[in-house]
Amino acid sequence: MNPTTVVHADNILTHLELDPQLVSYYDPSISRTTIQTVRSGTYSAPDAIVQAVFDVLQADVELGTGSSPGLIDRYSLAMSVFEQAGEYHAARLVELRIADAAYLGSQFSLAARHYTAVVDYFRNTGDNKYLGYVLESFGIVQHYLGDFGRAERLLVEAERMWELCGAITKVTSVRVNLANLHLDSGNFATAEEYYKEAIQGFETSGDEVRRAMVATNLGILFIKQTRFAEAAELFYGALDVFQRHDKVEYTATVLGAIGNTHEAAGNPTMAISWYKQALDCGMKLGNANLITEKSIQLGEVLTSVCRFDEALYHLEQAATLCITGADYKGLCTVNTQMAMVFLGTGNTDEAWKRISEAAAYASDQNWNTQLVLCKLVSAQIAIEIGDDERALGLLRSIEEVAASLRTEYELVQILNLQYLLHKKYGQFPDALRYLERYRELNEKILGLEKQRNLAMVEVKLRFEAQQREHALALQEEQRVREQQRILLENMVPATIAERLLNGEAFIAEQFDDVSVLFFDIVNFTQMAASTSPAVVIDFLNILYKQCDEAVARHGLTKIKTLGDSYMTVAGAPVPQNDHVERMVGAALELQRIVSAFADTTSALVKHELFSEKYHTLKVRFGVHCGPVSAGVIGEIRMVYDVWGDTVNVAARLEQTAGPGELHVSDQFRKRVLEIGDGLATFTSRGKREMKGKGMMQTWTMTAPSA
């Protein structure tokens, strides 16, 4: 691409600016629109600058649809172009993208280096809008890297920047991240405070879905505190919101959270059931991240109950997705869990291979929490193969880190293994020291487990009651919706009924090309006057039922009946490219139905109307094609109607038709002939005066000769 460079007033570099207050900073539709805007302009900037802007915007599209390999290199190349040209603001905007791409690709150390440079730049320029966003992202990265203190300082500063910008929703978002940070660092009281502030913030802004997302996180906090009943209440409330809003991804998250509850309470069977439901949601969406996350959770709990083959199946599925999506953080977790599976099956060689890959990545990214687990598993493998010295070295290297990270379940295993190893080699003072620490921490954990077991009695009953209540509510909602659907479909077409049920309050559309048919019964007034109302109603019901079935067979939409008048349309409310052909087939079948009606009607109608008074039923038809307007009219008694010049012409063709005639416009005839010979036969009726249209050539349409 080599755009022409001529003098232009606009500065092309302004197109690199982002809107940090958007929920999705790299919305692909926005990036594509920006590309088209840039493409339509001409600029005085050097070709290299123009090309670099195009390259960045194209990379933004890919970043918005999911991080892809090579993005960081492409951004880096563009950044160097801008720096060489002295465009330092543009260079920093691209460096921000590099940091974001690294963050999304789980390359947290790389992301941290670039966020540092970008933070320094925006602090110097005083651009609080960008600074709030960068500080928040940088804080999340530091959280992942395990530097909780620095993460908190960055997030608190981001909160202050967003407050200065008056971006209340972003302030609430930062508080969610602060809550997540304190949850992982074990400061549960502070985390709960931040979560509740965020819930209140989203409630005030009317964002029910994001409120439910935060409530789910608060429920996970309650699980850690063995407050299972409170967690259950939050989870089921969130589940109701996500299902009402058809948020399948978030539904999967809360289903997984319910699985977490059962796993934490020592009920792996129920945990597996909930995790599988969550995995099904991920499969339904085709969401690789969800499938990976839920497959890992399933792998972990299946490993804990020694169902190694099943665990390996789910973990291999997760590993494939991580490799395909360049999700190295996820792959690290998968390899750690697979090492535990292979250790459980006695395959220590494969266990070493997997845990070594995981530990190398965790160390490179300074992911301390995962590194503790990697080294703990490595120590267990070393003990299994008899390399006790190596095991002790690994355990000593992570004991202090585990204590500072408050990973108590890992720490208790570290202390127990060191006690057993020192005892094995007669190092009794050290063994006793580790035994005392192990007992103290284990009693604390066992106390929590006892609380969990007691609480689960209550939570199981709450879960079951809420499940029943939720199921009944869903059934009632479905029953009401079905009743509404049936009622609406008696008034409007099915596709329109579905749109109304889905919340469209106003439906008005233009259709460029449809076919319209009217018919009415010749001498209906005299027929109705010559018999009882019951016979007339029976007569119309039978006739219109046969006509409705024929119309439906050809894919037309019945618009309305008014006494002896019937109207149908092809090509609306769902456009149909073959509407002319459909209309020909339907019109000729309706003509056949009318011709045979005296013989096919009920005995009562035949006796009262067609035995002596009227030997056959005569109907006039009018057909035309062209553009129409259509929509739903009325609020209490809604009807779907079409209107416009095309409708008026079809009605006048019907009014001027002879008894039994299919009277069509010259425009409709030409459209039929364009399709090909054999659909119908046409006989000219010459030109005639049509009200509001002047002289029109019209035709009689009949079935083709055999």
Task: Note the pLDDT tens digit of each residue in 337-360.
Answer: 999 899 889 999 999 999 999 888
DSSP assignment of 536-592: HHHHHHHHHHHHHHHHHHTT-EEEEEETTEEEEEES-SS--TTHHHHHHHHHHHHHH
On whether residue 21 sits in a domain, the answer given is yes
**pLDDT at position 570 over 90:** yes
What is residue 352's predicted lDDT score, i.e. its pLDDT? 92
Q: What is the mean pLDDT of residues 638-662?
A: 89
Task: Note the pLDDT tens digit of each residue in 42-89.
Answer: 667 777 888 888 888 888 888 877 656 688 999 999 999 989 988 888
On whether residue 523 sits in a domain, the answer given is yes
Taking the CB of residue 440, how many other CB atoms lie within 10 A of it? 11
On whether residue 62 sits in a domain, the answer given is yes
397 or 138, which is more confident? 138
559, 566 contact by CB (below 8 A) = no
**pLDDT at position 289 over 80:** yes
pLDDT interval class at 166 (50, 70, 90): confident
On whether residue 335 sits in a domain, the answer given is no
Please check whether residues 556 and 654 belong to one and the same domain: yes
CA–centroid distance for 485 within its chain: 24
Please check whether residues 422 and 510 belong to one and the same domain: no
**pLDDT at position 246 over 90:** no
Q: Which of 75, 104, 133 is the last residue of a domain?
A: 104
What is residue 460's predicted lDDT score, i.e. its pLDDT? 53
pLDDT interval class at 504 (50, 70, 90): low
**pLDDT at position 192 over 60:** yes
Q: What is d(CA 603, CA 698) in angstroms, rounded to the nearest whole number?
A: 38
pLDDT interval class at 111 (50, 70, 90): very high
What is residue 550's predicted lDDT score, i.e. its pLDDT? 93
On whether residue 163 sits in a domain, the answer given is no
On whether residue 557 sits in a domain, the answer given is yes
Angle at 73 between CA 72 and CA 75, to 5 degrees: 65
Please check whether residues 687 and 578 belong to one and the same domain: yes
Residue span of the structural domain in which 374 resides: 344-426
Q: Which of 426, 443, 475 is the last residue of a domain?
A: 426
On whether residue 234 sits in a domain, the answer given is no
**pLDDT at position 659 over 50:** yes
Task: Note the pLDDT tens digit of each residue in 21-42.
Answer: 654 566 667 777 777 777 776 6
Please check whether residues 517 and 637 belong to one and the same domain: yes
Please check whether residues 518 and 411 belong to one and the same domain: no
Please check whether residues 412 and 521 belong to one and the same domain: no
Residues 6+ apart with CB under 8 A from 339: 350, 351, 352, 354, 355, 358, 377, 381
Please check whether residues 511 and 643 belong to one and the same domain: yes
Residues 6+ apart with CB under 8 A from 18: 25, 26, 93, 96, 130
Helices (H), 490-511: 494-501
Residues 6+ apart with CB under 8 A from 568: 516, 517, 551, 556, 557, 558, 559, 586
What is residue 4's predicted lDDT score, i.e. its pLDDT? 34
What is residue 480's predicted lDDT score, i.e. its pLDDT? 63
Residues 6+ apart with CB under 8 A from 131: 119, 122, 123, 158, 161
Please check whether residues 393 and 530 belong to one and the same domain: no
Please check whether residues 598 and 694 belong to one and the same domain: yes
Helix (H, G, I), strand (E, B) or coil at 4: coil
What's the number of domains the chain is made of?
A: 3
Above pLDDT 70, what percent of the chain?
Answer: 83
CATH of the domain at 582: 3.30.70.1230
Q: Which of 60, 83, 104 is the last residue of a domain?
A: 104
**pLDDT at position 486 over 70:** no
Please check whether residues 520 and 668 belong to one and the same domain: yes
Please check whether residues 522 and 633 belong to one and the same domain: yes
Q: What is the mean pLDDT of residues 203-208?
A: 90
Range in 216-225, 335-344, 524-533, 563-572 the model is least confident about: 524-533
Please check whether residues 514 and 609 belong to one and the same domain: yes
On whether residue 468 sits in a domain, the answer given is no
Distance (Å) of CA 308 to CA 301, 305, 343, 557? 10, 8, 10, 57
Q: What is d(CA 385, CA 365) in angstroms, rounded to the nearest whole number?
A: 29
